A and B are shown apart, each in its own frame.
Chain A
Amino acid sequence: MSTLPIFADESWRLPSRGRVGMFSLIIGESGIFTIFVVAYIYYIGRSVSGPTPQILEVPIFNSICLLSSSLTIVLAEHAIQHGLLKRFALWWALTMALGIEFLAGTAIEWRKLIFEDHLTIRTNLFGTTFYSLVGLHATHVLVGLVGLTLVMIFTLAGRVNQGHAGRIQVLALYWHFVDAVWVVVFTVVYIVGK
């Protein structure tokens, strides 16, 4: 009985599991961010004492850096797709630099807030929600940077080639997500909340 029906359409294509997995992760992460953003918005103006969002300075340069890193990583993706390893390493390094700049900027901002404006996570609701939300995002940048660094190390060790383009794109997807979240965080914290 060899009547296993043979499927007519020979081209049987399925989505890449890496991409599907990363998209799922991103959806899940969005859940976490949504809750923190909602809490932030809900508590705007409800602090009973202490500093208010007025003390915030809009981190324009920082944001430009982070957002442009999305561009550089796209360029890196292109490079690896075409097998241009040198160029890939360059763009990749630039992406990392921009990411690091962003974290450094955040550190400087927090330093000012803590030591000059005396806003800590326990000061009031604003402090609690601000550090949690921005900190959550910064953590994601950090995790992203760890991923980028690993790829960089492999690249420098000469272990990355054109064949890895797919995986690198999946990682880049995460980086784009981190950037996109910043747009939301930025809007909520520095525009709506101020």
Chain B
Amino acid sequence: MADQTFPIPGAVDATRPRAGLLEWLHSWVVTVDHKKLGILYIVYAIFFLLVAGAEAMAIRIQLAIPHNHFVSPEVYNELFTMHGTTMVFLVGMPILFGFANYLVPLMIGARDMAFPRLNAFSFWLTAFGGLMLYFSFIGGFGSYGVGNAPDVGWFAYAPLTARAFSPGHSTDYWALSLIVSGFGTLGTAINIIATALSMRCKGMTLMRMPLFVWLLLVVSGMTLVTITPLTAAQVMLLIDRYLGGHFFDAQAGGSPIVWLHFFWIFGHPEVYVLVLPAFAIANEIIPVFSRKAIFGYPAMVAASVGIGFVSMTVWAHHMFTVGMTAVGNAFFVLSTMLVGIPTGIKIFNWLATLWGGKIRFATPMLFCIGFLFQFLIAGLTGIMLSVAPWNWQLHNSYFVIAHFHYVLVGAIVFCIFAAIYYWYPKATGRMLSETLGKWHFWVFLIGFHITFDTMHFVGLLGMPRSIFTYEPDRGWNTLNFIISCGGFVQAVGVLIFAWNLVYSYRRGKAAGNDPWDAWTLEWSTSSPPPDYNFAVDPVVRSRRPLWDIKHPQDPDWKYER
């Protein structure tokens, strides 16, 4: 039935006469349209993915052999700090908000976000934060005369950030640019919440919202209470650095541990802020390509909300080695392990969704399948890390690096790729090439596993993170070399992807409104959707409005509970 056009009469031809380049640019700068802002976010994030990826490649070249002199220690420290900071704040957050911006209004049958102008403002704040962060590379002389890029790790542990140990402005760039982009993030989160709660089309009760919207609602709620502690802590840091305060000053009785708590009160929920949108993407794609409704929708909603709450109580699992009491350690072991339960429910529900389906292995689905396996492994290594005594060994080793890249790359980046393959046709009207897509998937998958599987082992063999070089006699040489090779295989994969984006934009197959034979509202309007999204406000009766239309004898609303 895929070729059928749908009766929701929003499908207007949106192609407009070609305008001049300047006019075109201007239209993007002044836009308050959620779709354009969404695309801006995504393009911005992909750009920084390449930048931070290139930084990762430099890291891997430096570590490929022991006692390497590819970069100086100062530059290495800037590289890994900027890599981590960029990936988390300028890639992870914006891309997910990009998808949210683009999709949430479409999925709930709205014409725009609740506050379009705030939306544009938030984007430009975020963009400005990113620019400021990267300006640090050229701004000033820094402590070593090589630019002022932050070099204190993305966690910026006090007291290394104090004026005494971090002269120059590197730390200030880190704090200020993240405060700025943090406000942007806050604005977007507020916007998403207001949109999801107040802009739904008729009939879309909370329990009929697509899971994507649900998860972004949860994520935005979490963002409100996780970004703000970071902002607060960074303000304190700046007070210490500029006004001579003593928040984290051990000499004056202040405690560096307090910074660790504040940072991880942000840092841990932050990683779920990043992963829940990835889950959201999987929640849309897996059912469509299995040809089945998502299994256990209410449980999925409950599990997401559960993860949201539990994840607020686990932050100190990043601090098992700072010398907490045994009871404290035990508490955080338990709370951390408890997160595995709602997360497990999600994995099982996806499994059950696949079960009995008719699985089509199109590129978006391939990436989601990669995600399922990789997230399973990453979650289990997370459980290993949460075992406090074992964590005393593994903390700050490459095992941790392996764990979180398994989630950040193996789960989140994979889902982002899936999402791009899945919604690119909606946004551009063209399909991405399936052939290039398959190549991209396999090359990236292989590179990913060469790199990050191997990292677990060097970690177990005692290699710490954040080191710019290592001794040749430690037994880490071969493994590091393999890891670095894998990095380059990934780079090839990403290049194929970038090429696919460009190539298909011109040569891709026309997509039509509903290329995947899917069920949520965004597929009922044209590709790309008109400015006003829907000519007539949609009305829905179930979680899969397009299923109901395609199967009038057997609509969902008869069965949903």
Contact = CB atoms under 8 A, between A and B. Distances in A.
A46 B541 contact: no
Nearest to B539: A7
Contact of A48 (B225, B236, B252): B252
A194 B190 CA distance: 37
A121 B245 contact: yes
Given A21-B190, A121-B245, A15 B198 contact: yes
A12 interface: yes
B199 interface: yes
Interface string A14-35: 1111001100110111111111
A14 B198 contact: yes
B198 A35 contact: no
Contacts of B115: 17, 21
Contacts of B539: 4-7
Contacts of B227: 28, 31
B247 interface: yes
B20 interface: no
A32 B228 contact: yes
Interface string B50-62: 0000000000000
A129 B253 CA distance: 12
B244 interface: yes
A47 B322 CA distance: 23
A31 B189 contact: no
Contacts of A54: none
A128 interface: yes
Interface stretch (B140-148, B164-172, B271-279, B548-556): B548-556
B552 A3 contact: yes
A47 B231 CA distance: 24
Interface in B180-214: 186, 189-191, 193-195, 197-200, 202-203
B254 interface: yes
A128 B245 contact: yes
Interface residues of B, number: 53
B556 to A, nearest CB: 10
B258 interface: yes
Contacts of A43: 247, 253-254
B485 interface: no
A17 B199 contact: yes
Contacts of B229: 31-32, 34-35
Contacts of A5: 203, 539-541, 548, 555, 557
Nearest to B190: A24
A159 interface: no
Given A17-B114, A132-B239, A132-B245, A125 B254 contact: yes
Contact of B8 (A4, A16, A48, A124): A4
Contacts of B246: 122, 124-125, 128
Contact of A39 (B243, B258, B540, B549): B258
Contacts of B231: 32
Interface centre among B197, B240, B539, B555 (most CB of A within 10 A): B197
Contacts of A129: 247
Contacts of A124: 246, 252-253
A34 B226 CA distance: 11
A32 B245 CA distance: 18
Given A5-B555, A7-B539, A21-B191, A46 B253 contact: yes
Contacts of B233: 35
Nearest to B201: A12
Contacts of B236: 35-36, 39, 132
A3 B403 CA distance: 50
A31 B228 contact: yes
B199 A28 contact: no
A47 B254 CA distance: 8
B369 to A, nearest CB: 34
Interface in A15-73: 15-17, 20-21, 24-25, 27-36, 39, 42-43, 46-48
B189 A24 contact: yes
A194 B470 CA distance: 52
Nearest to A46: B253
Interface string B354-367: 00000000000000
B392 interface: no
A12 B203 contact: yes
Interface in A124-145: 124-125, 128-129, 132
Interface of A: 1-7, 12, 14-17, 20-21, 24-25, 27-36, 39, 42-43, 46-48, 121-122, 124-125, 128-129, 132
Name the 5 nearest CB pairs between A and B, nearest first. Answer: A31-B228, A122-B244, A35-B232, A17-B198, A7-B203
Given A3-B7, A17-B199, A46-B253, 17 more contacts: A1-B549, A7-B202, A17-B198, A20-B194, A24-B221, A28-B227, A30-B228, A33-B232, A34-B229, A35-B229, A35-B232, A42-B255, A48-B253, A125-B247, A125-B252, A125-B254, A132-B236
